[in-house]
């Protein structure tokens, strides 16, 4: 069961989880990752609900804190994110646009499409994102720190932009090395 909060009105919607499916995460070199994804125009659509459910299921299983549809081979403008309780959510953003950004943050990023690869990426510290929910209603969500980084990384995916194009000091880390880097800088480290 996944409870999704509509950032606009706080209404909660629960996915039953009966038909959820873990989808294959597309990896480096897959052409779908470099395509600009198409806007979603049909809402209140069981297929769209199913796509969101599959994105959540795949993201939680990975595990990651965000996932964009092109990463499961669907070139459409929808992403999901869950950066933990302190950030609210989980979030479903459809046709998202960054309408405001301020400040900068530099942190280590990874990506489910680039297993074991990490790099330092500069991102806006804070963003305001305008997006549609599964019913097509527009809302705005404000995000800072990790959630802001996550939204920026995922919106890049929708435009066919990959973190390796923005990262400095790209390096491969084993799970042990990753855990070591993670210590003490939790809020700055994300696999998205
Ligand atoms: Zn990614």
Q: Name residue 57's beta-bridge partners.
A: none
| Mean pLDDT computed over every residue of the chain | 90
Residues with CB under 5 A from ligand 1 (ion): 111, 192
Q: Distance from the CA of 122 to the center of ligand 1, in angstroms?
A: 15
How far does residue 156's CA lie from ligand 1's centre (Å)? 8
Q: What is the pTM of this model?
A: 0.89
* Residue from 85, 154, 177, 186 carrying the catalytic annotation: 154
Decide if pLDDT at 11 tops 60: no
Residue 88 phi/psi, 5-degree rounding, is: 75, -170
pLDDT over 90 at 90, yes or no: yes
Query: What is the per-residue pLDDT across 102-135, written as a single tens digit (0 to 9) for each?
Result: 999 999 899 999 999 999 999 999 999 999 999 9
CATH of the domain at 91: 3.90.45.10
Q: pLDDT over 70 for what percent of the chain? A: 85
Residue 54 domain boundaries: 2-191
Record the tokens describing residue 139, joined without a space: 């809302």
CA-based R_g, the chain, Å: 16
Distance 176 CA to ligand 1 centre (A): 21
CA gap 44, 152 in Å, rounded: 26
- What's the number of domains the chain is made of? 1
Q: Is 154 annotated in the active site?
A: yes
């Amino acid at each position: 069961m996944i409870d999704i909060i509509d950032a606009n009105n706080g209404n909660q919607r629960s996915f039953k989880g009966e038909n959820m499916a873990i989808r294959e995460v597309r990896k480096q070199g897959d052409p779908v990752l470099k395509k600009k994804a198409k806007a979603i125009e049909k809402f209140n659509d069981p297929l769209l609900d199913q796509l969101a459910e599959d994105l959540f299921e795949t993201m939680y299983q990975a595990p990651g804190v965000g996932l964009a549809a092109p990463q499961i081979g669907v070139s459409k403008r929808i992403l999901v994110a869950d950066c933990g309780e302190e950030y609210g959510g989980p979030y479903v953003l459809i046709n998202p646009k960054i309408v405001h950004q301020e400040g900068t943050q530099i942190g280590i990023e990874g990506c489910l499409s680039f297993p074991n690869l990490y790099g330092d990426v500069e991102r806006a510290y804070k963003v305001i994102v305008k997006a549609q929910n599964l019913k097509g209603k527009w809302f705005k969500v404000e995000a800072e720190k990790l959630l802001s980084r996550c939204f920026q990384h995922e919106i890049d995916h929708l435009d066919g932009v990959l973190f390796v194009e923005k990262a400095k000091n790209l390096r491969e880390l084993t799970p042990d090395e990753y855990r070591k880097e993670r210590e003490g800088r939790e809020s700055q480290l994300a696999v998205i």
